[in-house]
């Protein structure tokens, strides 16, 4: 089994507050990072890797470097369906062609974070 | 019983120095050339994946001692069969000056001729041609990395065009000009690489100045996370009668993959580890090696050992998936080589135990991970909290950065992250993309003074 971690910042945590998803939040690195960890069957992993070649399966069997636009769509689908089951990824992959345009732009520009 | 160690001799006994520093002498050599050739990058799918100028630099400045130039056919065969130069010294990879048949026809050079090599429009080096021969690039690529059939100890999956190193060799031109290189126009390293440029003679002098007898090398092509830092500090507990005097980070600078960090970010981020005091600057030195990574795991470890022994390094840490990519090699291939040898690559013993081998002591390290129960970054052979532990992953951190998340200090030092953001602002993107790689290929890492020839 492979996995995909959907990172949760303060806004995303607020978005799922009060839903059943709250109980599924995983602490990573001693709670320094919060995430929803989705299970990814092999076939589904292959589909994502083939549609978005920048994505990689790392040594932890986590699918990483998934384009931000795709990650965003996955979170929106999680929020909508209140689920982290594989059907979430199926729903996102059904609109993979639409996402590809946003992904292309991402390979040229990513906003610089504002830090002190 | 002598326990204290001394700086190792260069590989092959002496450092190669093929750089003419006197401009007048360089000009005179250039004037004797029979033909002129503008160095071109090796392209794969239209993207630059290698520039032979980096090999010329690393050879002439002595990083790859005792190799002195582009290899003859006999030497190439010996490298591919036994990973030895004709002088018997261990060496992992073919070093070749390849050109197209069309270019060779235009140049009209033959064995015995001197070829002037221009870079960025200026005279850069000369190649004294000893032999001209043909290669089959696909065969070269396959034999360079090995196959599951011929090298079952470490090669698990046949190499193909998903492997960037394979793509480099399989994109070589058909003709090879063999002979020694000499740099005749001393290059000036561009910023920010200039302050990390420690060719072997300079590195050795720096180690002596700092009073370092024992030095351990850390290989990198990455921005350091806290796990890298823990590896570096803990591996350095090896030494003679005390831990290593110095830790050098030797960053590979050259063509890399889309999605990797830019070299500028890598070197300055590593430097930040000592500037911010996580390792004392008096014990930590960031340096570079010009080389287009072949991602050849055990073979790459040999090249790293050659370069770093030449710099005066006594120990090298080897980890999981050393300079590796994809499923091709065994995850621990480099450690297998340095622990037992790989007979099919010409090593019935580890590279430090064979004749004409390396004077490099391996420090084979397992993993460092974060354990919330230990509340620290801990060594995998110490921590028994298998359920709680969390492994560091470069890909995970790149994902964090791309999403604009400030990485927690338990993963990446804030000063290191700020360095990433500094270069993100300058280069317009946090990672290598097509635009960056194309611009970088134009600029390269050096500038050359104008040299007018009559």
| Reduced 3-state DSSP string for B93-133 | CCCCEEECHHHHHHHCCCCCCEEEEEECCEEEEEEEEEEEE
Q: How far is A74 from chain B (nearest CA, A)?
A: 13
Q: How far is A73 from chain B (nearest CA, A)?
A: 13
Residue B18 lies in a domain: no
- Neighbour-count burial for B161-179, b at 16+ CB within 10 Å, e otherwise: eebbbbbbbbbbbebbbbb
Q: What is the count of structural domains for chain B?
A: 2
Contact A65 B408 (CB under 8 A): no
Question: Does position A11 have pLDDT exceeding 80, yes or no?
Answer: yes
Q: Are residues B93 and B203 in the same domain?
A: no
Q: What are the distances in angstroms from CA B280 to CA B113, B219, B267, B314?
A: 51, 19, 17, 20
Provide the chain B residues 365-404 that lie in CB contact (below 8 A) with chain A.
370, 372, 375, 390-391, 393-396, 398-400, 402-404
Contact A54 B375 (CB under 8 A): no
Report the residue of B297, B396, B411 to disrupt the A interface, i.e. the one with the largest count of A CBs within 10 Å. B396
- Neighbour-count burial for B183-203, b at 16+ CB within 10 Å, e otherwise: bbbebebeebbeebbbbbbeb
Chain A's closest residue to B395, CA to CA, is: A64
Q: Are residues B59 and B105 in the same domain?
A: yes
- Evaluate the omega torsion of the peptide bond into residue B192 and state whether it is cis, within 30 degrees of 0: yes
Q: Are residues B67 and B120 in the same domain?
A: yes
Q: Are residues B98 and B57 in the same domain?
A: yes
Residue A4: phi and psi, rounded to 5, are -140, 125
Residue B370 lies in a domain: yes
Residue A21: phi and psi, rounded to 5, are -65, -25
CA A55 – CA A74 distance, rounded (Å): 14
Q: Are residues B198 and B178 in the same domain?
A: no
State the pairing for strand pair B368-371/B376-379: antiparallel
Chain B residue numbers with beta carbons less than 8 Å from the beta carbon of A71 are 399, 403
- The pLDDT tens digits for B245-296 are 999 999 999 998 888 999 999 999 999 999 999 999 999 999 999 999 999 9
DSSP output for B237-251: T-BSSSB-SEEEEEE
In this structure, are residues B145 and B328 in contact, taking their beta carbons and an 8 Å threshold? Answer: yes
Q: Which residue has the tokens 């589904």?
A: A44
Contact B395 A27 (CB under 8 A): no
Question: Does position B454 have pLDDT exceeding 90, yes or no?
Answer: no
The residue extents of the domains of chain A are 2-106
Structure confidence at residue B394 (pLDDT): 86
Residue B450 lies in a domain: no
Of B370, B393, B430, the CB nearest to A59: B393
Q: Are residues B334 and B238 in the same domain?
A: yes
Beta bridge partners of B378: B369
Q: How far is A66 from chain B (nearest CA, A)?
A: 7
**What's chain B's average pLDDT?**
96
Q: Are residues B198 and B278 in the same domain?
A: yes
Q: What are the distances in angstroms from CA B396 to CA A57, A95, B195, B260?
A: 10, 24, 30, 13
Report the residue of B387, B388, B391, B395 to disrupt the A interface, i.e. the one with the largest count of A CBs within 10 Å. B395
Structure confidence at residue B19 (pLDDT): 98
CA B259 – CA B127 distance, rounded (Å): 35
- The pLDDT tens digits for A32-49 are 999 999 999 999 999 999
Rounded to the nearest 10 degrees, how much is the dihedral formed by the CA atoms of A61, A62, A66, A71? Answer: 150
Residue B2 lies in a domain: no
Chain B residue numbers with beta carbons less than 8 Å from the beta carbon of A66 are 399
Diameter of chain A measured on Cα atoms: 43
- The pLDDT tens digits for B173-212 are 999 999 999 999 999 999 999 999 999 999 999 999 999 9
Question: Does position B70 have pLDDT exceeding 80, yes or no?
Answer: yes
Chain A residue numbers with beta carbons less than 8 Å from the beta carbon of B408 are 29, 32-33
Structure confidence at residue B431 (pLDDT): 93
CA B13 – CA B61 distance, rounded (Å): 15
Return the number of other C-beta atoms located less than 10 Å from residue B259's C-beta: 18
- SS3 per-residue string spanning A44-75: HHHHHHHHCCCCEECCCCEEECCCHHHHHHHH
Residue B79 lies in a domain: yes
Burial label for B129, CB within 10 Å (0-12, 13-18, 19+), is buried
Q: Which of B163, B189, B215 is the last residue of a domain?
A: B189
- The pLDDT tens digits for B206-242 are 999 999 999 999 999 899 999 999 999 999 999 999 9
Q: Which residue has the tokens 């090398």?
A: B217
The token duo for B414 is 């804030």
- The pLDDT tens digits for B51-65 are 999 999 999 999 999
- The pLDDT tens digits for B9-45 are 999 999 999 999 999 999 999 999 999 999 999 999 9
Structure confidence at residue B399 (pLDDT): 87
Q: Are residues B107 and B197 in the same domain?
A: no
Candidates B396, B311, B403, B393; CA nearest to B360 is: B311
pTM of full prediction above 0.90 = yes
Beta-strand runs (E) in B244-397: 246-253, 284-290, 315-318, 361-364, 368-371, 376-379, 390-391
Residue B140 lies in a domain: yes
Q: Which residue has the tokens 């831990």?
A: B243
Q: Are residues B206 and B180 in the same domain?
A: no
- Evaluate the omega torsion of the peptide bond into residue B66 and state whether it is cis, within 30 degrees of 0: yes
- Across A63-91, average pLDDT: 93
Domain range for residue B391?
193-441
In this structure, are residues B324 and B297 in contact, taking their beta carbons and an 8 Å threshold? Answer: yes
Chain B residue numbers with beta carbons less than 8 Å from the beta carbon of A62 are 393, 395-396
Q: Which of B127, B157, B189 is the last residue of a domain?
A: B189
Contact B320 A59 (CB under 8 A): yes
Residue B83 lies in a domain: yes
Q: Are residues B137 and B172 in the same domain?
A: yes
Interface of A with B (CB under 8 A): 5, 7, 9, 27-33, 54, 56, 58-60, 62, 64-66, 68, 71, 107-113, 115
Q: Which of B150, B173, B189 is the last residue of a domain?
A: B189
Q: Are residues B216 and B165 in the same domain?
A: no
- The pLDDT tens digits for B119-145 are 999 999 999 999 999 999 999 999 999
Question: Does position B448 have pLDDT exceeding 90, yes or no?
Answer: yes
Contact A65 B259 (CB under 8 A): yes
Contact B424 A112 (CB under 8 A): yes
Report the residue of B374, B403, B408 to disrupt the A interface, i.e. the one with the largest count of A CBs within 10 Å. B403
Share of chain A above pLDDT 90, in %: 70
Burial label for B396, CB within 10 Å (0-12, 13-18, 19+), is buried
CATH number of the domain bearing residue B426: 3.40.50.620
Of A30, A32, A68, the CB nearest to B403: A68
Share of chain B above pLDDT 90, in %: 91
Is B94 within 8 Å of chain A by CB? no
Contact A59 B321 (CB under 8 A): yes
Is B438 within 8 Å of chain A by CB? no
Q: Are residues B149 and B222 in the same domain?
A: no
């Amino acid at each position: 089994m492979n996995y995909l971690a959907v990172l949760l910042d303060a806004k995303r945590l607020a978005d799922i507050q009060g839903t059943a998803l709250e109980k599924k939040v995983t602490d990573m690195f001693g709670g320094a990072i919060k995430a929803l960890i989705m299970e990814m069957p092999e076939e589904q992993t292959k589909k994502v890797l083939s549609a978005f070649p920048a994505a990689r399966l790392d040594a932890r069997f986590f699918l990483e470097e998934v384009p931000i636009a795709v990650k965003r769509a996955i979170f929106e689908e999680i929020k909508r369906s209140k689920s982290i089951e594989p059907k979430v990824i199926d729903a996102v992959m059904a609109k993979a062609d639409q996402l590809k345009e946003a992904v292309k732009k991402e390979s040229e520009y990513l906003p610089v974070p504002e830090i002190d | 019983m002598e326990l204290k160690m001394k700086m190792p001799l260069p590989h092959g006994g002496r450092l190669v120095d093929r750089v003419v520093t006197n401009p007048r002498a360089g000009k005179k050599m250039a004037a004797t050339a029979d033909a002129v050739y503008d160095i071109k990058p090796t392209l794969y799918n239209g993207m630059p994946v290698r520039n032979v100028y980096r090999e010329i630099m690393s050879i002439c400045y002595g990083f790859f001692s005792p190799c002195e130039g582009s290899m003859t056919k006999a030497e190439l065969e010996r490298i591919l069969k036994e990973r030895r130069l004709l002088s018997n010294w261990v060496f992992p990879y073919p070093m070749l000056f390849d050109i197209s048949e069309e270019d060779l026809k235009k140049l009209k050079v033959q064995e015995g001729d001197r070829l002037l090599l221009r870079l960025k429009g200026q005279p850069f080096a000369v190649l004294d041609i000893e032999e001209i021969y043909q290669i089959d690039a696909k065969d070269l690529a396959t034999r360079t990395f090995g196959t599951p059939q011929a090298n079952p100890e470490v090669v698990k999956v046949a190499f193909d065009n998903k492997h960037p190193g394979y793509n480099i060799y399989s994109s070589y031109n058909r003709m090879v000009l063999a002979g020694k290189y000499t740099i005749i126009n001393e290059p000036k390293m561009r910023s920010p690489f200039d302050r990390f440029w420690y060719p072997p003679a300079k590195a050795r002098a720096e180690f002596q100045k700092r009073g370092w007898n024992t030095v351990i090398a850390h290989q990198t092509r990455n921005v350091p996370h806290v796990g890298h830092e823990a590896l570096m500090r803990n591996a350095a507990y090896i030494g003679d009668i005390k831990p290593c005097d110095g830790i050098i980070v030797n960053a590979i600078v050259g063509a890399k993959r889309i999605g990797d960090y830019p070299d500028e970010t890598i070197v300055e981020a590593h430097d930040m580890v000592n500037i911010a005091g996580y390792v004392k600057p008096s014990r930590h030195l960031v340096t570079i090696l010009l080389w287009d990574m072949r991602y050849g795991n055990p073979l790459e470890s040999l090249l790293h050992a050659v370069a770093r022994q030449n710099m005066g390094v006594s120990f090298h840490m080897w980890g999981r998936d050393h300079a590796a990519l994809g499923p091709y090699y065994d995850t621990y291939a480099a450690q297998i080589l340095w622990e037992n040898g790989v007979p099919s690559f010409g090593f019935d013993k580890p590279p430090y135990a064979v004749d004409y081998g390396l004077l490099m002591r391996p420090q084979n390290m397992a993993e460092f991970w974060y354990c919330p129960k230990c509340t620290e970054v801990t060594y995998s052979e110490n921590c028994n909290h298998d359920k709680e532990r969390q492994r560091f992953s470069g890909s995970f951190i790149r994902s964090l950065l791309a999403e604009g998340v400030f990485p927690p200090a338990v993963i990446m030092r804030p000063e290191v992250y700020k360095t990433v953001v500094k270069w993100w602002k300058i280069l317009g993107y946090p990672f290598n993309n097509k635009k960056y790689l194309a611009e970088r290929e134009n600029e390269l890492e050096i500038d050359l003074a104008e040299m007018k020839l009559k």
